[in-house]
Amino acid sequence: MTPEQLRDLVRTVVAAVVERGTLAVAVPDEVVVERPRNPEHGDYATNVALRLAKPAGRPPREVAEAVAEELRTRPGIERVDVAGPGFLNVTLAQGALGRIAVEAVTAGETYGHTATLAGQRLNLEFVSANPTGPVHIGGTRWAAVGDALGRLLEASGATVTREYYFNDAGAQIDRFAQSLMAAATGRPVPEDGYAGDYIGEIAAQVVAAEPGVLELPEAQQQERFRERGVELMFAEIKRMLAAFGVEFDVYFSERTLHETGALEKAIARLRENGHVYEADGAVWLRTTDFGDDKDRPLVKSDGDPTYFAADCAYYLDKRARGFDKVVIMLGADHAGYVGRYKALVAAVGDDPEANLEILLGQLVNLVRDGEPVRMSKRAGTVVLLEDLMEAVGADAARYALARASVDQQIDLDLDLWSRQTNDNPVFYVQYAHARISSVLRNAADLGVALGGPGDVDVAQLTHERENDLLRALGEFPRVLTSAAELRAPHRVARYLEELAGTYHRFYDSCRVLPRGDEEATPLTVARLWLCAATAVVLRNGLGVLGVSAPERM
């Protein structure tokens, strides 16, 4: 019995007590079930009686006794104690706790999945680095966290579209093209241009693809370098992200907003809503009406639309595609952007609290021996995704970047994350899975099979370490749900590390396989199911983070 199943059971019990007339209250939609800090208090605890006491007009302990009496009659419940002011401490029957292992193995890759967010259509935009250079370390963090968040949201029942918005229009693309032209002709890069070896590499590829490009008039030459350069650079970005295990459902071009008239339509809608005015030759959105610190220009005095106008058109495009909520992941340097984007959403007639969510992430520093690392050969002092992958590998990089809350700055120790030792968190978790895989292989070699769900007596699992592991496995669905709702993939990583430690303690205390001429017993089979269940959860949890679960290390 998982915590979720016990929660449903408690709610059913309350409904039965109410139906009998013992309590005159509304049956709560939600019941909180938690693991008590002291294991001696039982497997789980609930405060449901405390919550019902006031509406019932009865003392909390009296309500608790009424609920406990009914709960004690239900299958799978060994004991229910009323504690303190009215808490219910529940001890499950041994077989009920052991069924968690059977459920995990039977469900396989879907164990832990829920329908908590079912019906929600979410557009998740992350990375969205400009196609003017390779993905840097900041974008790499968003790649790891964003991809993990997308998997989490889907595991909770949401429909998620992962989207990459690339700014292939505007002044920065002109500077990129001019930088490529300079590199191709041996001239210095413009003062406000882009530097790094990758500029020379892309320029050479453009010239190789279009040998006559340098003979064109300057305007045409710049257009060819712009178009071909962006195409090559973005192909490189996609290649590196794919190597990192990150794929997007939609790659959206800013340029299409300009070419299809989407900007003009967006401004027209804002104007119809009464929030647009003209001043100093420019067109403005009155964002101060919605809490912004100042109004924002939509069209500059020279007639060119602003990035903000494109943002408005892009948001409307997403909503027109049927998404209930637009989720955008940005670096902390974009914190000032949040207020104006919320104002924009309100100005088009949407609810910023319901239809928009912006997540801000802090910086990542690479360190070695406590000193900052500047390691990129291609981009000077900027650390790139490929640099990090080369240093520690994709698994360690993804895990390390997703392991910390996004609102925390990370000092990522390259020595630590490249070690094949237990002080490396990802190795520690992966090793637990590999260790279990080895146990299951050895069991197969000995001719000991798990069999089907009806072939295992989970009531054999009575050891304290077995119970610790079962309770930890039962927490997995709740961990995924809370991590999805809080947009916090790091909770999954920390849970996996705790689970790995719980498994290692179990394995050190409870012999799984028979030795010598010993025969396999029902306890042997039950412990193998417990091992297999742990492997499922480790595999599923690592999968949410986009990290592999090796069977050998």
CATH architecture of the domain covering 126-247+362-418:
3-Layer(aba) Sandwich (3.40)
Round to whole Å and give the CA distance between 138 and 128: 11
Superfamily of chain region 422-545: Isoleucyl-tRNA Synthetase; Domain 1 (1.10.730.10)
Q: Given this model, what pLDDT does residue 167 score?
A: 85
Q: Given this model, what pLDDT does residue 171 score?
A: 82
Question: Three-state SS string across 93-154, please?
Answer: CHHHHHHHHHHHHHHHHHCCCCCCCCCCEEEEECCCCCCCCCCEHHHHHHHHHHHHHHHHHH
Q: What are the residue ranges spanned by the domains of the chain?
A: 3-93, 126-247+362-418, 422-545
What are the phi and psi torsion angles at 552 (to 5°)? -140, 140
Strands 77-83 and 159-166 turn out to be unpaired
Q: Given this model, what pLDDT does residue 238 score?
A: 93
Contacts of 189 (CB under 8 A, 6+ apart): 179, 182, 183, 195, 199
Q: Which residue numbers in the chain have pLDDT < 50?
A: 376-378
pLDDT in tens, 28-87: 888 888 888 887 888 899 999 998 988 888 898 999 999 999 899 998 898 999 998 999
Say whether 422-545 and 3-93 share the same fold: no
User: 97 is written with which tokens?
Assistant: 């706790």
Q: Given this model, what pLDDT does residue 516 score?
A: 82
Q: Given this model, what pLDDT does residue 20 score?
A: 86
Q: Given this model, what pLDDT does residue 383 score?
A: 79
- Choose which CATH entry (3.40.50.150, 3.30.1360.70, 3.40.50.10470, 1.20.1250.20) describes domain 3-93: 3.30.1360.70
pLDDT in tens, 130-154: 888 888 888 899 999 999 999 999 9
pLDDT in tens, 257-298: 999 999 999 999 999 999 999 999 999 999 999 999 899 999
Q: Alpha-carbon torsion 502, 507, 513, 519, what sign?
A: negative
Question: Three-state SS string across 179-235, please?
Answer: HHHHHHHCCCCCCCCCCCHHHHHHHHHHHHHCCCHHHCCHHHHHHHHHHHHHHHHHH
What are the phi and psi torsion angles at 407 (to 5°)? -85, 10
Round to whole Å and give the CA distance between 118 and 279: 46
Pair 249, 264: CB distance under 8 Å: no
